A = this chain, B = another copy of it.
C-alpha cells in the first residue's frame, strides 16, 4: 500500500488543511477504490468536494488526481500478480542483497506460521489458556532472547487482569515472588536453546512448589518442560544468525488473547472499544496533543 502516495503524504500530512486530510485519510483506507472509482465518486464517498481531491493531489506534487489513481492502479496490478506467484521476474535481486535476504527470511517465517496449525499445538494452547485463566496469579519469565516474548505476554495479560506478574531481574531479586507461589499459581516460562541457567533453575523451583507450568520452548526435550507442564513447542530455526523468536512471540500473543477471552468478556469488550477509539483518534494525527500519555 505504501507507494509514492503514502510517502509523499506522510511528509506533508501535518501541514495539510482539514478537508485534504479527510480526503487523504479516505484514500489511505480505500486504496482499491482509489484505483477503481472516478475521482468525483471518491470525493462523494470521502465526504469531500471534488475540488479537494484535485487540490490534494497537487499539494502532494502530482500533476493531477489522475496521477494518484494511476499510482494506485499500478500498485493494485503488482499486488495481484505478486500474490498469484509469478512475481520473481519483476524483482531482479542479486543473491545476497539485503532485499533478497529479507525476502528469504519473510518467506521462511510465513512457512513457519503455516506449520504451526498442528493439532497438538492447538490442544496445548487451549490447555495452557485454561490453566492460566484459572490461576490465582500468572507469573511470566524469560531471559535473553526469550525476554521479549515473556514480557509481551505479561503486558498483554496485564491489560485485562491484575493477576499478571512479571519475573524480571531487578537487582537480582526478580525471582523472589516465585518463592511465595503455590499450586494455585501458574508460570508461563519462555526459553530456547541455549537455555539460561537461572531460568531452568527457576522452573525447577516452581515445579517443586507445585506451581503449574506452561513452557513455551523449542523442543520436546527442553529442560523447561518439567513433569505436568504444558508444553508449547515452536520452531526457532532461522536463516539468520540468531534463532527466530517470532513463532514463540506469536504463540505468546495468541495465548494471551485466549486467556483474556476466558477471563472477563466484559472487561475485554470495554478495553477493545477504548483501544480502537484511541486508535481511530490518533492514527492520523501528528499532533503530539493527540497521543496517549
Which of A50-58, A114-122, A172-180, A181-189 contacts its partner? A114-122
Check if A44 is an interface residue, CB within 8 A of chain B.
Answer: no
**Chain B nearest CB: distance from A281 CB in Å?**
7
Q: Which of B77, B101, B292 contacts A32 (CB 8 A)?
A: B77
A134 at the interface (CB under 8 A from B): no
Contact A271 B109 (CB under 8 A): no
Shortest A269–chain B CB gap in Å is 8
A46 within 8 A of B: no
CB-CB contacts of A259-285 with B at 8 A, as 1s and 0s?
A: 011100000100110010011011111
In the complex, which range does the number of interface residues on chain A fall in? 35 or more
Smallest beta-carbon distance A49→chain B, Å = 21
Residues of B within 8 A of A272 (CB): 241
A40 interfacial by beta-carbon distance below 8 Å: no
In this assembly, does A135 line the interface, its C-beta being within 8 Å of a C-beta of chain B?
A: no
Q: A139 — which chain B residues lie within 8 A by C-beta?
A: none
Determine if B196 and A118 form an interchain contact, defined as CB atoms under 8 angstroms apart. no
- Enumerate 22 A-B pairs (CB-CB under 8 Å) in ascending A order: A1-B233, A2-B220, A6-B220, A6-B233, A7-B231, A28-B221, A80-B80, A82-B118, A99-B125, A101-B257, A106-B113, A110-B110, A110-B113, A151-B151, A194-B279, A194-B281, A197-B291, A200-B288, A240-B257, A241-B257, A243-B279, A246-B249
